[in-house]
Amino acid sequence: MANPEAVLTDVTGRDGFQMEKEWIPTDRKVEILNGILASGVKRLEATSFVSPKAVPQLKDAKEVLARINRGDAEIIVLVPNLKGAELAREAGADKINFVLSISETHNQKNVRRTVEESLGQLNEITGVFSPERIVLSLGTTFGCPFEGLYPVDKVQAVIEKVADMGLSQITLCDTTGMANPKQVTEFVRTLSARFPEQRFALHLHNTRGMGLANLIAGYQEGIRHFDAALGGIGGCPFAPGASGNVALDDVAHMLELMDVETGADLEGLIGTAGRMQEILGYELPGQVMKAGPAKTVHTV
């Protein structure tokens, strides 16, 4: 019997590419993203309208959006402020992702604002994008390298402040891979009970090797939307130790073995991950792209 389906959002184009120091030609970015879309992924966070000085790798955001084969996929763009939201609207993004950190210290390092100032900016953005077209990502949900681990109450307090904005899509982000399965279970259970109107998602990093375990903990508590990056690339340039996201291909493989439908073509993802590895010129951390699917039978 199949388990409830899961929705995968690929964040390679934004969270993945933003950490790359060597310039990736726009043609190659488009090639990779089109490969992901051709593999059946229906939600793509393609890029970010952020200052080119802060993240020069994403200065071609407008061109990337114009050139990807969108089809019927939902295209999301990360924005740090009102100006970014206006640019995303002009470029035809379906939705925007606004990131706000639970940690005051990380929020200052990431967007140079207090949490309250970011909340004010989010309120202004609801005048550009309707609330149903805004995804709110809560960075450092499960802990911060500058402030340590903290209780779920701190996260709950921030969500309560956006309750009147009409937002219904909140992503809980383990920005630096500090979460553990017990903590994910507790946080998701508590927040889902307190805010039943919200559709929570998980954005996990595999920094300490617990990414897939944390994803399963969230799935068992009812989470059905998950972010992932092809080959496990990515991280946050404003947080120490924020290594790669959970690998999209590893996640799709695991869920497929669990009879959880994702719509993703695993072989297509593995092929695109291999091509991306060639383009980037170093070995990616993803596992299934190296070992192959568990169902593969080798001849003796």
pLDDT on residue 236:
58
Q: Above 70 in pLDDT, residue 70?
A: yes
- Residue 109: burial class (beta carbons within 10 Å; 0-12, 13-18, 19+): middle
What's the maximum distance between 2 C-alpha atoms anywhere in the chain?
Answer: 63
What average pLDDT does range 212-237 have in this prediction? 93
pLDDT on residue 168:
93
Q: What percent of the chain shows pLDDT beyond 70?
A: 96
Mean pLDDT of the chain: 93
CA–CA dist 228, 256 (Å, integer): 15
Q: Mind giving me the DSSP string for 111-169?
A: HSS-HHHHHHHHHHHTTTS-GGGEEEEEETTT-BTTTB---HHHHHHHHHHHGGGT--E
**Tens-place pLDDT, residues 258-283:** 999 999 999 999 999 999 999 999 99
**Tens-place pLDDT, residues 11-50:** 999 999 998 999 999 999 999 999 999 999 999 999 999 9
Give the Å distances, CA to CA, from 147 to 105, 157, 185, 191: 7, 17, 21, 21
Q: And the tokens for 293?
A: 């699917």
User: Quick one: CA dihedral 191, 192, 194, 197, positive or negative?
Assistant: positive
**What's the pLDDT band for 244 if we cut at 50, 70, 90?**
confident
User: Quick one: CA dihedral 84, 90, 93, 94, positive or negative?
Assistant: positive
**Tens-place pLDDT, residues 135-188:** 999 999 999 988 999 999 999 999 999 988 999 999 999 998 999 999 999 999
**Tens-place pLDDT, residues 77-134:** 999 999 999 999 999 999 999 999 998 888 888 788 898 999 999 999 999 999 999 9
Residue 236 among the catalytic residues: yes
pLDDT on residue 243:
64
Q: And the tokens for 4?
A: 């409830």
User: What are phi and psi for residue 203, nearest 5 degrees?
Assistant: -120, 105
Q: And the tokens for 117?
A: 């100032």
pLDDT on residue 237:
56
Q: Above 70 in pLDDT, residue 6?
A: yes
Q: Above 70 in pLDDT, residue 242?
A: no
Catalytic residue among 100, 236, 242, 270: 236
Residue of 34, 48, 45, 61 lying closest to 8 (CA atoms): 45
Within its chain, how far is the Cα of 126 from the centroid?
21
CA–CA dist 47, 22 (Å, integer): 17
User: What are phi and psi for residue 179, nearest 5 degrees?
Assistant: -75, 160
Give the Å distances, CA to CA, from 298 to 255, 256, 268, 293, 295: 22, 20, 20, 11, 10
Contact 283, 248 (CB under 8 A): no
Q: And the tokens for 6?
A: 């899961």
List, in order, residues 6 or more apart from 218 with CB less than 8 Å away.
184, 185, 188, 202, 204, 226
Q: Where are the domains of the chain?
A: 7-291
> Which numeric CATH code is attached to 7-291?
3.20.20.70
